[in-house]
Amino acid sequence: MLDLKLLRQDPEGVADRLRKKHFEFDVARFLALDAERKRAETESQTLQSQRNQAARQVGVLIKQGLSVDEAKAQVADTLRTIDERLEAAVQQTRTAQQQLDELLMAVPNLPADRVPEGADETANAEVLRWGEPRAFDFEVRDHVDVGQRLAGLDFDAAAKLTGSRFMVLEGQVARMHRALIQFMLDTHTTRHGYREVYVPYLVNADSLRGTGQLPKFEEDLFRLEGDSGYYLIPTAEVPVTNLARDRILEADELGEHGVKLVCHTPCFRSEAGSYGRDTRGMIRQHQFEKVELVQLVRPEQADAALEALTGHAEYILQALELPYRKVLLCGGDMGFAAAATYDLEVWLPGQSQYREISSCSHFGDFQARRMMARWRNPATGKPEYLHTLNGSGLAVGRTLVAILENYQQADGSVTVPEALVPFMGGLRALTPG
């Protein structure tokens, strides 16, 4: 959610900045709603104040010796006058507040100044390339073929068990999938200083509103039947960031460099509207594993934290010796809640292109304001909004894809990246048969 004060001070300026995100902010409607809210609220508060005074007067009169009925009679006229207006005023306040909330909850975050203009991924700015795509002296297979030759990847079985966009992993491939999770978690906890957390995979609507998936993007989510109101998490970002919801962290809880959390969870996405895209293979699945990095930091540390967090994700790619590039997303390609986003794209020889494997974002106080995640600034003694960040470190399924494709050999085997060998019980290659 954007800062109401900023919106009031400079609605046109905000609308202008939102255009970079290809969002049209209805300034006139906002101003009208806000004016009505203020009018209704002022009126109902004044009436309520008068009403409280009258009620208190009854108590005072009774203490002075009047009977209850006599005391009530003295304020009856005043109360009648107030009540004629009060109920309507309260209702108007509620309606106006609700409409304003609905409007604001649907407004995306402002992009940072350095975010490039542009409508889609073609306008993203490449920041760096790391590693050389390998030259193959045989015909390159994509991960589906590689995985199936290893008897490790079975989409037919998954389709039978559930449906499309699911997978079954077996044998050494399943083990490598698990090894990747361990490797990532161990690296981020021991090398990068993150604290590991385990969280629910089902969350309520408040949590999804907090991080920004609701109310606008309900169609991307799996919602449970029944009256629990629970949703399957689309990313660990939701439960992990919401740990700070409705909290005021003391400075010592926040620590000098903020709170850094790492969490492995499955992620569930409906992929509504992606029909026909990435239908082959395990690039786009309804269920996939991800190791997520989340940081809660002081505002002035947020920019540096995004660089650091992205670096932590990059380290995994580097340790696995997977060629990748880093891009700064343009306004039109960014997520709803983000102020700035780096995508890491890994080289996939099977597709001869770079594909997203991590998305690292800085949300400013946008999520924190939605979820009332604050910290007490010792300098002012007042609660202030935290700044939140998160990024994949990494998407596990896509990392497996990248290894299968980049490390494939002519004989159908797949070399295990050196860094992963200890997590594979010393196994150095995945072999067919």
Give contact residues for RNA (rule: CB under 7 A). 4-5, 8, 38, 41-42, 44-46, 48-49, 51-56, 58-60, 62, 68, 72, 75, 79, 248, 372, 374, 376, 382-383
Which single residue is written with the structure tokens 């290893």?
A: 150
CA–CA dist 304, 362 (Å, integer): 10
CA–CA dist 315, 183 (Å, integer): 12
Say whether 223 is catalytic.
no
324-328 and 125-130 strand pairing? antiparallel
Beta bridge partners of 223: 231
Tokens linked to 154? 């079975």
Among 223, 356, 376, 384, the one annotated catalytic = 356
Say whether 284 is catalytic.
yes
Tokens linked to 409? 């050999």
Which single residue is written with the structure tokens 């960040």?
A: 389
CA dist 46 → 1, 23, 75, 90, 216 (Å):
29, 38, 17, 11, 35
- Smallest distance, RNA to C-beta of residue 265, A: 16
Residue 72 and residue 58 in contact, taking contact as beta carbons nearer than 8 Å = yes
CA–CA dist 153, 197 (Å, integer): 29
- Smallest distance, RNA to C-beta of residue 263, A: 18
Among 37, 355, 370, 398, the one annotated catalytic = 398
- Smallest distance, RNA to C-beta of residue 98, A: 12
Among 141, 149, 269, 374, the one annotated catalytic = 269
- Smallest distance, RNA to C-beta of residue 71, A: 7
Say whether 356 is catalytic.
yes
Among 94, 178, 245, 284, the one annotated catalytic = 284
Q: Of 62 and 168, which CB lies nearer to RNA in the complex structure?
A: 62
Residue 342 and residue 309 in contact, taking contact as beta carbons nearer than 8 Å = no
- Smallest distance, RNA to C-beta of residue 93, A: 9
Q: Of 73 and 304, which CB lies nearer to RNA in the complex structure?
A: 73
Q: Which residues are catalytic, by number?
A: 269, 284, 356, 359, 398
